[in-house]
């Protein structure tokens, strides 16, 4: 099998869209590989799943490309997908360069379309002449990066190491039923932690030397513990230790009664939340003092997740980290999802200097993340956010429902997935359904509850949840503005004005037009929702 080309380009420099028949990958891959080595940036379909995500990714890449490299073979000229791509680019007026790799006669319509385009028949030239000519014609649109620059980028690609976890099968005494239950619990826990992209290893080794166990399993962390069962009560003690040193990071006890399956499910979900949070906290401490140049893509994403995005400068800094994560490991789905998330936040907060480009880029990156890790609820959640805001709303709801079903709404990552689900339901006019789900979620998502109650015009409840949100997000000017909005709608105008003085002290440039623009971006111009989020501020006569 021929060597695969480098992954599709996702940066800000000019790139060529490569259109080819997938049946010809063995023939086409070497061509793409040497073009990349010559310094050209290439985008190509790397197995994105058919459907809305695939169509959106293709459209975004075609729109953003500097030109197209059409690889003409029997397979490509008979492919509906390739011909649609070609038609799209021709309609856009972008340059098309054709390389013919076999003796297939081009259809008359295709020959007519390409009559004034650059074309090279591979068989008519020796290798050196062919490559020189192709480089020359492509360079008329986008100059290749110098070889040294290409090598410098490659040298930055540090191997990504996502934390791995060793799960020690819980000691359960001599009780067969308890041992069987413990095995099931570990299986459930392994599944839930695996959904969070951690590497998982299970072992029946019951050694108490956890440092040695961690080294044998070659894992970052070890989860160990024991189970006790009496009557209908299940008690599980767990602790998390570092794989190399055995130092304890976290520990907790879980008690559940009743049906064994339900008990295992409840404990596994609660423990997965706590273990994930403990690992992320430990990873944040680990990468805090490491030079950015030495961090892998995982470390860059973790570092970026701890940084605020409350100003243009802060947004730029975090986005820069996420871009470096993608550059260092283009095959790591989490890097693409992290960058897409930050681009969406930048547009939503109106900090973006080029929102249309950032939106298109965010949608490209979520498509790439899903193509790399289609079963990851984490990437589904970010894709759901991007599509709810800027892409396919039906797809956004579907992704949010799938992600939430996998990890639940009560987890560290699941809460974000739940929030995407809640937002999509509110946007679809299904506020009561969203409220019912949110009130069952722990921790309760305060701001989405405010949005839902505000959309329904239930201002006493909206104010309650807006005020609770400021306890969770005390530095969020948006949370405080929402309190002022709800207070005004509850006829507490003096208090609302006092709150707004606090908001304008945080953001002196905040005006109603600014807030309205943000609401329209965040809710796709859904007038009922937008009006509810502005009604009180309008009563305050913000200027």
SS3 of 252-268: EEEEEECCHHHHHHHHH
* Mean pLDDT of all residues in 406-426: 71
pLDDT above 90: residue 408: no
Q: Answer with the residue of higher pLDDT: 15 or 45.
A: 15
pLDDT of res. 91? 86
Q: Which CATH number fits domain 164-283: 3.40.50.10070, 3.30.420.10, 3.40.630.30, 1.20.210.10?
A: 3.40.50.10070
User: Residues of CATH 1.25.40.10 domain(s) within the chain?
Assistant: 446-543
Around 390, how many Cα atoms within 13 Å sit in the side-chain half-sphere? Answer: 25
* Mean pLDDT of all residues in 342-362: 93
pLDDT above 80: residue 155: no
As a whole number of angstroms, the distance between CA 499 and CA 386 comes to 31
pLDDT band at 46 (very low <50, low <70, confident <90, very high): low
pLDDT of res. 51? 43
Name the packing angle between helices 297-305 and 312-328 (round to 10°): 160
Beta-bridged to residue 98, according to DSSP, are 70, 119
Beta-bridged to residue 366, according to DSSP, are none
Name the nearest CA neighbour of 366 among 386, 352, 348: 386
* Least confident span in 148-162, 279-293, 499-513: 148-162
Residue 2: CB atoms within 10 Å: 13
pLDDT of res. 119? 81
In eight-state DSSP terms, residue 170 is P
* Least confident span in 284-293, 421-430, 491-500, 503-512: 503-512
Q: Hey, what are 418's tokens?
A: 């739940």
pLDDT above 80: residue 272: yes
As a whole number of angstroms, the distance between CA 176 and CA 260 comes to 14
* 461 Cβ contact partners less than 8 Å away, ≥ 6 residues apart: 449, 453
328 and 156 in contact (C-beta within 8 Å)? yes
What's the mean per-residue pLDDT of the chain?
87
- At 68 the three-state DSSP class reads strand
Name the packing angle between helices 512-522 and 333-348 (round to 10°): 140
Start-to-end CA distance of the chain, whole Å, equals: 65
* Least confident span in 179-193, 258-272, 499-513: 499-513
pLDDT of res. 297? 94
* 498 Cβ contact partners less than 8 Å away, ≥ 6 residues apart: none
* Mean pLDDT of all residues in 349-378: 92
Map tokens 């459209």 to a residue. 59
As a whole number of angstroms, the distance between CA 276 and CA 226 comes to 19
pLDDT above 60: residue 230: yes
In 116-178, DSSP assigns E strands to 118-121, 164-168
Q: Hey, what are 528's tokens?
A: 């009922």
pLDDT above 50: residue 173: yes
* Mean pLDDT of all residues in 290-316: 90
As a whole number of angstroms, the distance between CA 322 and CA 98 comes to 35
> Could you report the per-residue pLDDT of 117-151, keeping only the tens digit for each?
568 888 888 888 999 899 988 998 988 876 555 55
pLDDT band at 515 (very low <50, low <70, confident <90, very high): confident
pLDDT band at 458 (very low <50, low <70, confident <90, very high): very high
Percent of the chain with pLDDT over 90: 50
19 and 8 in contact (C-beta within 8 Å)? no
User: Residues of CATH 3.40.50.10140 domain(s) within the chain?
Assistant: 16-155
pLDDT band at 486 (very low <50, low <70, confident <90, very high): very high
Name the pairing type of β-strands 221-230 and 233-242: antiparallel
CATH architecture of the domain formed by 16-155: 3-Layer(aba) Sandwich (3.40)
* Mean pLDDT of all residues in 191-219: 89
The DSSP code sequence of 197-246 is T-EEEEE----S-HHHHHHHHT-SEEEEEEEEEETTEEEEEEEEEETTT-
Name the nearest CA neighbour of 216 among 197, 201, 194, 199: 201
Q: Hey, what are 82's tokens?
A: 């390739």
* Least confident span in 191-205, 242-256, 409-423, 485-499: 409-423
pLDDT above 70: residue 535: yes
As a whole number of angstroms, the distance between CA 154 and CA 147 comes to 11
134 and 119 in contact (C-beta within 8 Å)? no
> Could you report the per-residue pLDDT of 86-125, keeping only the tens digit for each?
888 888 888 889 999 888 877 776 677 665 556 888 888 8
* Mean pLDDT of all residues in 336-349: 94
H/E segment holding residue 302: helix 297-305
pTM of the predicted structure, to 2 decimals: 0.70
pLDDT of res. 64? 87
CATH architecture of the domain formed by 446-543: Alpha Horseshoe (1.25)
pLDDT of res. 412? 45
* Mean pLDDT of all residues in 523-534: 93
pLDDT of res. 23? 77
């Amino acid at each position: 099998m021929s060597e695969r080309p480098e992954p599709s380009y996702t940066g800000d420099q000019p790139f060529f869209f490569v259109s080819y028949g997938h049946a010809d990958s063995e023939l086409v891959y070497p061509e793409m590989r040497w073009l990349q080595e010559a310094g050209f940036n290439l985008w190509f379909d790397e197995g994105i799943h058919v459907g809305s995500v695939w169509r959106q990714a293709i459209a975004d890449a075609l729109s953003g490309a500097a030109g197209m490299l059409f690889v003409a073979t029997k397979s490509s000229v008979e492919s509906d997908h390739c011909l649609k791509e070609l038609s799209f680019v021709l309609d856009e007026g972008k340059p098309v360069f054709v390389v013919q790799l076999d003796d297939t006669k081009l259809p008359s319509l295709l020959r007519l379309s390409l009559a004034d385009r650059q074309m090279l028949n591979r068989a008519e030239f020796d290798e050196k002449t062919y490559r020189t000519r192709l480089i020359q014609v492509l360079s008329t649109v986008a100059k290749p990066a110098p070889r040294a620059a290409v090598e410098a980028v490659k040298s930055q690609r540090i191997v990504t190491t996502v934390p791995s976890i060793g799960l020690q099968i819980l000691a359960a005494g001599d009780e067969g039923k308890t041992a069987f239950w413990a095995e099931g619990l570990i299986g459930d826990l392994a599944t839930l932690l695996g959904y969070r992209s951690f590497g998982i290893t299970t072992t029946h080794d019951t050694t108490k030397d956890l440092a040695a166990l961690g080294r044998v399993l070659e894992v970052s962390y070890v989860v160990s513990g024991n189970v006790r069962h009496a009557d209908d009560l299940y008690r599980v003690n767990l602790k998390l230790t570092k794989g190399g040193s055995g130092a304890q990071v976290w520990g907790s006890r879980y008690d559940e009664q009743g049906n064994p399956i339900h008990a295992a499910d409840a404990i596994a979900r609660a423990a997965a939340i706590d273990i994930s949070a403990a690992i992320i906290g430990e990873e944040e401490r680990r990468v805090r003092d490491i030079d950015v140049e030495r961090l892998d893509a995982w470390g860059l994403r973790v570092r970026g997740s701890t940084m605020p995005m409350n100003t243009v400068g802060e947004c730029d800094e975090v986005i820069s980290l996420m871009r470096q994560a993608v550059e260092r490991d283009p095959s790591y789905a989490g890097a693409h999802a992290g960058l897409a998330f930050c681009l969406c936040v930048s547009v939503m907060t109106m900090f973006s200097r080029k929102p249309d480009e950032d939106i298109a880029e965010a949608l490209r990156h979520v498509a790439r993340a899903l193509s790399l890790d289609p079963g990851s609820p984490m990437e589904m959640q970010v894709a759901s956010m991007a599509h709810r805001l800027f892409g396919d709303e039906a797809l956004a709801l579907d992704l949010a429902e799938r992600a939430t079903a996998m990890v639940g709404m009560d987890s560290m990552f699941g809460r974000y997935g739940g929030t995407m689900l809640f937002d999509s339901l509110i946007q679809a006019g299904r506020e009561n359904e969203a409220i019912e789900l949110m009130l069952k979620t722990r921790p309760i998502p305060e701001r989405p509850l405010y949005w839902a109650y505000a959309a329904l015009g239930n201002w006493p409840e909206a104010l309650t949840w807006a005020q609770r949100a400021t306890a969770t997000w005390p530095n969020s000017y948006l949370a405080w503005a929402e309190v002022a909005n709800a207070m005004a709608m509850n006829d507490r105008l003096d208090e609302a004005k006092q709150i707004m003085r606090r908001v304008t002290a945080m953001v002196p440039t905040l005006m109603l037009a600014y807030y309205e623009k943000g609401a329209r971006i965040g809710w796709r111009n859904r007038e009922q929702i937008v009006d509810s989020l502005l009604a009180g501020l309008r009563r305050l006569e913000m200027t």
